[in-house]
Amino acid sequence: MAANIIGPAYVLGDDVDTDQIIPAEYLSYNPSDPAERKYFGMYAMSGVPRSQAGLPGGGQRFVEEGQFKSKYAIVIGGKNFGCGSSREHAPLAIAEAGAKAVVAEFYARIFFRNCVNGGYLLPCETTQRLVHEVRTGDQCEIDVEAGTLANKTTGKTYKLHPLGDAKPIIDAGGVFNYARQTGMIKAG
């Protein structure tokens, strides 16, 4: 993943769990069927409490009513992003809505691995708290190679933790693509 990720940010707080990211009532859709998969995007973040949605005032929807895609390319979270159940539908839902990355202080490890293994989203960890530095709608740019997030609206730049051993898997587009590319499994 060499290209930078550029677009408006959507800001959330701490402890955003997978039930808030994609509520259980929408798990009946089949992610392998393109006609149904798009509904994961439509309902992404629909369980986030309105008081937290798009901080600081709350109430901003991640995906507008009746739409399948969000205008937000980057999700900014606080501590413990993706906690709760281990459903891989959570990073899938955010990606289906059109976001390319999540930047959080730290993740529930299963959410982080689901982002990496599925090739859904770039999960970046920040070295400082951004939920009060970045506002929903700010234009941001993640420079993957430099390991930075630049808020183009405010002119401030923030350091991100290195992706480490997850980077080759992310670059390959997920664990199965990585396994095929490295000869661990036969391409088929």
As a whole number, mean pLDDT of residues 108-125 equals: 94
**How far apart (Å, rounded) are the C-alpha atoms in residues 91 and 141?**
20
**Per-residue pLDDT tens digits for 23-48:** 999 999 999 999 999 999 999 999 98
pTM (2 d.p.): 0.92
Instruction: Place 187 in a pLDDT band, splitting at 50, 70 and 90.
Output: confident
The pair of three-digit structure tokens given for residue 2, joined into one six-digit string: 């060499």
Fold of 5-162: Aconitase; domain 4 (3.20.19)
**Per-residue pLDDT tens digits for 76-102:** 999 999 999 888 899 999 999 999 999
The pair of three-digit structure tokens given for residue 110, joined into one six-digit string: 């299963």
Helix 89-96 / helix 34-42 crossing angle, nearest 10 deg: 90
Give the SS3 label for residue 72.
coil
Domain residue ranges in the chain? 5-162
Give the SS3 label for residue 26.
helix
- Give the model's pLDDT for residue 186: 82
**Per-residue pLDDT tens digits for 142-172:** 999 999 999 999 999 999 999 999 988 988 9
**How far apart (Å, rounded) are the C-alpha atoms in residues 36 and 53?**
25
Q: What are phi and psi of 175, to 5 degrees?
A: -65, -35
